[in-house]
Amino acid sequence: MGNVSPGQRLARAALLSAGAWKATYQSASAPLPAIADLQQSMARGELSSEQLVRRGLEAADRQDFLNAFISLDSKGALDRARRLDELRLGGEVLGPLHGIPVVAKDNIHVSGLPSTAGTPLLKSFVPMDDAPAVARLKAAGAIVLGKTNMHELAFGITSGNAAFGAVGNAHDREFIAGGSSGGTAVAIATGMTVAGLGTDTGGSSRIPAALNGIVGFRPTGGRYPSAGITRISSTRDTIGPMARTVRDAALLDRILAGESGSLPEVGLDGLRIGVPCGYFYDDLQPEVREPVESLLRMLIEAGMQPVHADLADIGRLNRETGFPIVLFEARSLLSDFLDAHLPGHSLKSLVDSVSSPDVRQLMGDVLRGEVSELAYRRAREHYRPQLQRLYADYFGKHEVEAILFPTTPLTARPIGETSDVVELNGDSVPAFATYIRNTDPGSNANIPGLSVPLPVPEGSLPVGVEIDGPEGSDRRLLAIGAAIERLLQRQGSGREQTNQ
């Protein structure tokens, strides 16, 4: 199979039209309704939380070959579902997530469940307390089904975890799920759960969202509580809510941020959106370029005003900012984590136990202190502020509310072919740098970013489009995303009627 191209593999997978393998993916292609619809069904007595949880657990069992979970809490989830059903019958509803199953990436602490961060040394670590973000979801009535698989220590973009197994794409198990929050994305995309939490350092919630056809959100840094996470960067890490719809992601955002109020309605007519063709649109796979250009045409027809202006020198500023910050901060963060939770284990013992070769190499750089404090301070105090000013000036000068671009320059590639390089338009390019190319700059600039799935031809792998907004514009950005989602839904309904 080593000489088979990605396109040939996709065609071969499409020919597997018989047996349980295809049936599983057919069932996965019919996702559960949105959270508001589920709440209405439960309020009318047409659905119980226990039924919803059982449905998710059965889907997880049928599709265990995707390796979406590291641990499932079947008994705990069913017990909580029954308690919440009893509360509802008694007239008590905890909040907007009452009885809704969610999942958490395995570097986010959930009380009583292992929190491995996808690495063998942490298999025995079971936190006593929920991360504050998880506690907020539970207080709103959510049920945690389990902890999802991820790229080891969140240091990668494939979720090709050598310790717990590679996460398979929701649409073709031979292809990568993206990372590092691949398990959460796949669990949502296949109907194992309704929504979930990932984390995002340079694209780790948005990349797998794009590659699996769901919604992924990175908030403005500091919007959500950061305690209770096995972090690799205090500057760049954040929890990233993931869901099937923008409205569901916005609901999670409101709860995680401790805010109230519904998402405002935004019209597309007259909305000014930046389209930075330089850098973000360079060397795109045709299967990515075409649906993004189709969306731009639809938005223009709906009255959106595109502003074609580039962010000058963004590639250089981003390179000077990103990796020096993470590699320097990871050393102290992981050392402090081990001191607090696994005393007696050193950073060296953690590095020695790492299973994934790509992560072992990066962690070796962390252990050796390859990034000096001087280089770190230059990145954080010189280049990062320049990058932030570049974005702020762009939004202000051009009077745009967001910028729009493909979430990733390419679709998912086969598992095992993305460790170092991938094929893009006939060339071999570095896998990691290529997949994070578009998501990383906004991460370093501390601005919010939202990935929304786009319509693609039947049998094609998913494609996502991202919108980034000014720092602190999270709710407005989500509202713009919801308007784009409505436009896509209307267009989809029109096509269905035409085809009939």
Catalytic residue positions, numbered: 105, 180, 204
Element housing 72 (H / E): strand 69-72
Q: Which of 435, 441, 429 is nearest to 464 (CA)?
A: 435
Number of C-beta neighbours around residue 360 at 10 A: 17
Answer for the pair 469, 447: CB distance below 8 angstroms, yes or no: yes
Answer for the pair 268, 487: CB distance below 8 angstroms, yes or no: yes
d(CA 214, CA 242) in angstroms, rounded, equals: 7
Q: Which of 214, 162, 213, 203 is nearest to 181 (CA)?
A: 203
Please, is 314 exposed, middle or buried when counting C-beta atoms within 10 Å of its C-beta (0-12, 13-18, 19+)?
buried
Tokens of 267: 């019209």
* Rounded alpha-carbon distances, angstroms, from residue 168 to 10, 29, 160, 403, 486: 14, 15, 9, 31, 29
- Residue 434 falls in which region: left (phi positive, over 0), alpha (psi -120 to 50) or beta: alpha
**146-179: b or e for each residue (b if 16 or more CB lie within 10 Å)?**
bbbbbbbbbbbbbbbbbbbbbbbbbbbbbbbbbb
DSSP secondary structure of 213-239 = TSEEEEPPTTSS---SB--S-TTT-EE
Q: Which of 303, 152, 313 is nearest to 230 (CA)?
A: 152
Q: DSSP code of 382?
A: I
